[in-house]
Structure 1
Amino acid sequence: MDFGSRLRQARREAGMSQKELGGDRCSTSYVSHVESGKRMPTLDLIAYFEGRLNLPPGSLGQVQVGPTVARRRRANTNAIQVLETLMRYRREGRHADAKRFAETLPAHLTPDMDWLIARQRVEIAIDGGLYHEAASLTQELIAIAEGEDSPGLLMIAETLSAIAWRVVGDTARARRSAQRAADLAATYPEFNIEERAEAFIAALAAGGDAAANAAAALEEMLTDLPDGATRANTLWALGTYAFQSNSPHSGMELHDRAAELFSPERDLRSWVRFPRASAEARLRSGFGAGVEELLAQARERHKVRRNVEEGVALTLTEAAYASHCGDNARAESMLANVDLSSPEITARIRGSVQERIAALLSERGEVAEARAAALEAAASFTEAGDLEDAQQAWKFLRSLPESA
């Protein structure tokens, strides 16, 4: 009798379900895979099963490694090599190579590795600014997590889904995923603290009903987070929330603390994006202090990791700063030179540019042109699924006279 059969027999004799046997260590599907011979438990897990079944150590015997198991081990080794290749490409900034390599992979490698490869695909798309693709790929990641009956993996998958859909502009889908991720992070405090923090960050960034609770959870976790990318992102998120909550001085203090922790080695994408986002948060609160320095940093960092979407966002923030300084003509000139035809630009950022152009045209009395730009902004926000910003664009359009 093989190990899986011995385990199944012992479990049934104990009157225990697969879920009960797995306890807080294994999902029901994992126990099922062990009993059917599809998975090989470690010595630690064998001891755990014996303890759950109240059996003396060694009662279940050893896992026999036959030809099938050997083939599975070789398959796992090959899959690990694939994963290492993808991770090396990402470390070296070779995002195009990583994407091409990922596209050549089969749909399934091994059950153990499918999740890791699927996650790499999502993050490669995010690295390349392909947020629509990333958002679509997160659905595969969620399906794998649900198939494994793993709340921890589901929390990570929903976090990535919330991030991707928020950037695309589909606020409703982003908030649904963020709410699920935050609920799992709150339900399972034993999960990795940094992964839980990322879930709450996603909920805070998505806004809506979950934002206040997410902010409170992050504030409580902050002292326990180690110095690193997640702590920096937490300070960034809390600072932005403070700006939005009319506490700009607190927002600046939190962003200053975040700036000290960001580094290209720890988190290149956030290191590039942070100065521009911090400048935007200050400007939205009516503060120009430190914005010029932040924008100078943003321009230099954008050269390190060029991204079409982030480049347009940087131009938009620079135009907002020009308007803050009273130079609307310069702001309008900046935005007039933005090419919105690139497929790498999301509908949401396109709508933001059109919305700002509409406001500038309205201020100098070009009502017909302002109406046209506001209509384009509303259409772009609607295309993205960002109904809140679409409604604001329509409201602005209705505020303009029919003719000059």
Structure 2
Amino acid sequence: MPLHSVSPLYAAAELRAYEHRINHAFVQAARSAHEAAEIARNDGDLDAWWNMTFLQAENLLDAEEFEACAALASDLVDGPHSTMEPQAKALTYILAAKARQGAGLLEEAADAARAASLLLADDDDVEIHVKARQALIAALADSGRLDEAWAECLGLAEVVSTEVDDQLIGKVYWVIGNVAFLCNKVQEGLEYHELAAATFSPARNLDVWAKFNKASAAMRLAAEVADADTLRCIERAELATDVVGGSVSDLLLLRLNRGHWTFLAGDVEAAIPILEGICVEVDNTGPQILGEACLLLGRAKAAMGDHSAAQEQLQKAADHFEMAGAHHRAEQARQYLAVQS
């Protein structure tokens, strides 16, 4: 639709959506994007409707409304007004993959990410192809298919070139490092995360800087690497999040990292109240985070000699992991539980 024919109501709703997004008010941004999409639909502008509906789905993802995001993304891919443009379709599949991963539908997440990667040849749009492979690797890793995830990582490393934006290269190193940690390739995990850290800048994107340091600390702690570099990651993430803000899950993950660090540092008694505060947040966070917190709390209770409480928390951890589709983590929780029985 030509610029002069844009409805003032549409322009206002679109502007509100982007302003809310800039301010990390994702629920309000999704609502305004939906308003803009409805105005565009009524005006017969299906391109604007599609763009605003995609923006709505992006904001639902960032608001951790995973099921609503997945449903909207599916409609954009398969609905009556789905786009035939391969790049837009691939981006929508990636959005669906992330939403399904967040909802614990890991097999469906992997399928959507694979569909995105198959839509584009490597030389069509390297950045979108890389993002699709990242989403696929994350879904495979979360579902415990680590051999497949590592094979995808090696392929992804070959795709990265100087044509790709530094921030995206950093995210590639980040995801490869994550899988290396999960595969017990700890030294490689550390090396890839160091490469990622070198590409990220708090001055350029403080939000990404916060998320990377938070996630890197979590991976290092999971590998029981509780050194000074890990503590620096925790502190950087906490400071950056104080500035940019974060979702409930972001804040709980920061507390989980701090509790994990405290536990590994040997101050088990101090770690327990931190972990207990996370485990009660059943209505405010996903099953994966709850599983990790309950697993750590069970280990901490066992270390304090409270074996009955340890069993209870380890069973809860296994249940949460199963709900998240993280069957390999559920099995690890059950292994700890067997020791306590």
- Normalising to structure 2: TM-score of the pair? 0.84
Query: Is the CA contact 2:37–2:50 (under 8 Å) kept in the aligned structure 1?
Result: no
Aligned to 1:180, which of 111, 115, 125?
Answer: 115
Q: Which residue of 2 aligns with 1:153?
A: 88
Report deviation, 1:295: 0.6
Give the drift of 1:382: 3.2
Counterpart in the other structure of 1:373: 313
The correspondence of residues 290-369 of structure 1 with structure 2, limited to 5 A, is 290-303=229-242, 304-338=244-278, 340-341=280-281, 343-369=283-309
Work out whether residues 171 and 387 of structure 1, in 8 Å CA contact, stay in contact via their aligned partners in 2: no
Pick from 87, 90, 109 the counterpart of residue 21 of structure 2.
90
What SS does structure 2 have at the residue aligned with 1:123?
helix
CA shift at 1:277, angstroms? Answer: 0.8
Is 327-336 or 146-155 further displaced after alignment? 146-155
Q: What corresponds to 1:74 in structure 2? A: 5
Q: 1:252 aligns with which of 170, 190, 199?
A: 190
Q: Do the aligned partners of residues 368 and 265 (structure 1) sit closer, same or farther apart at CA in structure 2, a change above 3 Å counting?
A: same
Task: Identify the residue that residue 99 of structure 2 maps to in structure 1.
Answer: 164
Seen in structure 2, the aligned counterparts of structure 1 residues 287 and 253 have a Cα distance that, compared at 3 Å, is same
Corresponding residue number in structure 1 for 2:33 = 102
Letter in 1 for 2:153: A
Label 1:135 to 1:147 Cα distance change in 2 as closer, same or farther (>3 A): closer
Deviation of 1:217 after TM superposition, in Å, equals 2.6
SS of the residue 2:56 aligns to: helix
The total of aligned residue pairs comes to 330
Q: CA deviation at 1:306?
A: 2.4
Are 1:117 and 2:52 matched, yes or no?
yes
Equivalent pair of 1:280/1:317 in contact (CA under 8 Å): yes
Tell me the percent identity: 22
1:91–1:389 distance in 2 versus 1, CA, 3 Å:
same
RMSD: 3.0
Q: Structure 1 or 2: larger helix share?
A: 2
Q: 2:211 aligns with which of 267, 273, 276?
A: 273
C-alpha distance in 2, partners of 1:264/1:136? Answer: 34
Contact 1:146 1:154 in 2 (8 A): no
- Give the residue type in structure 2 aligned to 1:359: R
Kept in 1: contact 2:291–2:317 (CA 8 A): yes
Change (3 A) 1:268 1:214: farther
Corresponding residue number in structure 2 for 1:133: 68
How has the CA–CA distance of structure 1 residues 375 and 288 changed in structure 2, closer, same or farther, with 3 Å as cutoff? closer
Q: Which moved more, 1:267-276 or 1:352-361?
A: 267-276
Rg larger in 1 or in 2?
1
